[in-house]
Structure 1
């Protein structure tokens, strides 16, 4: 019963976190739009039928039934056609789509409100409005990461030794104890003991286990001076890591089946709450952004892999894309998972869920900057193209070409929207039949 409640609590936190992230994303568009004088007709969280709404001034604020996004509707999102009128210059299918988009963006332009249309703003103001949403998600990711990693902390390895091996076992060995013929491990031979905290290695201060482990692996066969803290006293020790074969692992920690020769000391770290310095939080978020960008760049292949897992027997990639159902499942699993460090379960569970929401906001930041409509990045790309186009016209001493007609890209926007719906359906099915689970 407790496990079920923890699952439910995790899913609820994820659902509320997603809704708040979307709502604040739209606030990132709303505030600068109002600041620059654009008439904002609607601020909505969700799509589909309206569950609740209230009008304040000229803007209707509300919540809709399908919580898969949101929008801020501004008047005059698209400029009139080349002739200045809201009609198509031809009867072609694509031209009619662009005409419909223009008409919809001007429906609520009242008399004397032409100056309050979005397309009449200077380019930099349009970019600020459209970048405002993703920027809020980036700020949320930074704040949530700071809370999870710096304020609360997360379980991690620290350079306090939990165990010291007495011998060196080959990488292919399945033995768990030493035999008479096994060579002595260099750490034990040098006098290292469980509980020692390694504070210096080869004259450099040790900040974390990852850097110490990397240094040991690089110094195989070389004599090294290190300093440990034992019973409050600094104790210098000289040790020579031996070269030995160890299994090669991937970035996700999976064994590749290969081995390599690395330095080996024969010591193991302890697990403790590790707090990331605030100055390192932007770097952590930057790495997450880089990872999501990699997923976006290879999205067709990633979705193919998801389909292979959903409809075949291929395993689901834990680092691949997941849908809203998958996010909820992961949140429930994270919350129900036993604490790594006993005695502080609430803090550890909170840190996990906050980290998950931080990662979600990183994904929202990256995906919304894709330079295609209907993403925010599509409008930003149109504004930047307008800058380039006007600069070229000035160099050629030609008249100002006016705003870029972003409405011409609406056929592509409809195509992208259809692909997004297909992707959402695929991820929904995959999250149900072949969900991503924690290892």
Structure 2
């Protein structure tokens, strides 16, 4: 139940972000004197609406977005004679650009404020140190006195606080002669370079298994009997996998906490890091789609695959269930930066596509002026309709793919 409530809360957070996105368009359009006909949150049938001045405000039943209806956003939009002089396409290029980019700006401002609040309260993740510690080698920091199954939430929480061994519990690593400080080089004849690779190899092992470890610069051959241990998963299922009772200290650096003043600088720096990561994700996005397809048909879900609003809400719900509010809030900030950058891509029908058309008109008219010709007038969007429809179709297909994957094989907090 807590997971469901957390997922709903996260979805509401996304709705607020989208509402602010559309509010950014509306407020800047009004400030420049453009005619804003309607501002609605959601889609579908109208729940209620009211008119304030020349604008109708309202809420619709499906709160998965919203819209701001600005008269004459393109020259193809029908406008009344009264609206004609205030049609958006008649305004200077820079004003149209401000209005079109204001939605993404709202996401960036909201993301920055969330990061600032995190920095002065719960702290911000030290991303740079975390990246430096990514994929550590398989050096063992401690050996457990036993390994035990944990098939209920209470057992998992109890073992997290203190591991109490019972008669009959096995201690595979200790019994096999493994020591703290050993570095695992191979498992069952398979070389491993990182801790993650070692864990995966151990999880699929069973019974007497050959290990090669580096100890004081020398290779040492060990045979460890790997038992199958049952563990409760974040999705409520119970899975069996091999475990030997060897671990390494957490590689997650402590959060960076700031005061009210230096928190501004910390949030600005972290914003820059998040922009960099967002651009990297967008570049990698097409190459991740095949992995989403494989996950739908039973393949292991790659944690680096893109998620939909459904998947993000599931992760947010699990964060609430586990009391990880810092993960919940940080995920909302990350999503705002991603949506903001994505909307600025120069592709129709995204805001960035409209900005690209606006500046094409500007540059074209400047070139025409140098040749003594008059301005060419607004771009005919009907000539772009085929390309737009292809992009809309691709966007809908990717959305359907990620939503399906998030339902049948969702990502979970580990």
Which category describes the TM-score, using the shorter chain as reference length?
0.5 to 0.7
Alignment RMSD: 3.5
Shift of 1:61: 1.2
TM-score by length of 1: 0.64
- Measure, in 2, the Cα distance between the counterparts of 1:18 and 1:68: 8
- Measure, in 2, the Cα distance between the counterparts of 1:40 and 1:46: 17
8 A Cα contact 1:39 1:117, kept in partner: yes
- 1:22 and 2:7 aligned: no
Show the counterpart of 1:229.
none
Show the counterpart of 2:276.
290
- 1:146 and 2:152 aligned: no
1:89-100 aligned at under 5 Å gives the runs none
1:64-143 aligned at under 5 Å gives the runs 64-79=60-75, 102=76, 105-106=77-78, 109-143=79-113
- 1:420 and 2:405 aligned: no
Shift of 1:334: 0.7
- Measure, in 2, the Cα distance between the counterparts of 1:280 and 1:156: 11
Show the counterpart of 2:4.
8
- 1:429 and 2:404 aligned: yes
- Measure, in 1, the Cα distance between the counterparts of 2:66 and 2:300: 33
Shift of 1:424: 1.9
Q: What secondary structure is seen at the aligned counterpart in 2 of 1:298?
A: helix
- Measure, in 2, the Cα distance between the counterparts of 1:120 and 1:310: 48
Deviations 1:169-192 (A, max 9, x none): x95779849xxxxxxxxxxxxxxx
- Measure, in 2, the Cα distance between the counterparts of 1:396 and 1:438: 61
Unaligned runs of 5+ in 1: 80-101, 160-169, 178-241, 339-348
Shift of 1:134: 0.3
Show the counterpart of 1:356.
331
Q: Evaluate the alpha carbon distance shift between residue 33 and residue 248 of structure 1 in structure 2; reply closer, same or farther with a 3 A threshold.
A: farther
Shift of 1:150: 3.3
TM-score by length of 2: 0.68
Show the counterpart of 2:257.
275
Q: What secondary structure is seen at the aligned counterpart in 2 of 1:54?
A: strand
Shift of 1:281: 2.0
Deviations 1:139-183 (A, max 9, x none): 1111111112333225879x9xxxxxxxxxx95779849xxxxxx
Shift of 1:65: 2.6
8 A Cα contact 2:119 2:266, kept in partner: no
- 1:325 and 2:310 aligned: yes
1:34-433 aligned at under 5 Å gives the runs 34-79=30-75, 102=76, 105-106=77-78, 109-153=79-123, 176=143, 249=194, 254-255=196-197, 274-275=256-257, 278=263, 279-311=265-297, 313-337=298-322, 349-433=324-408
Shift of 1:371: 0.8
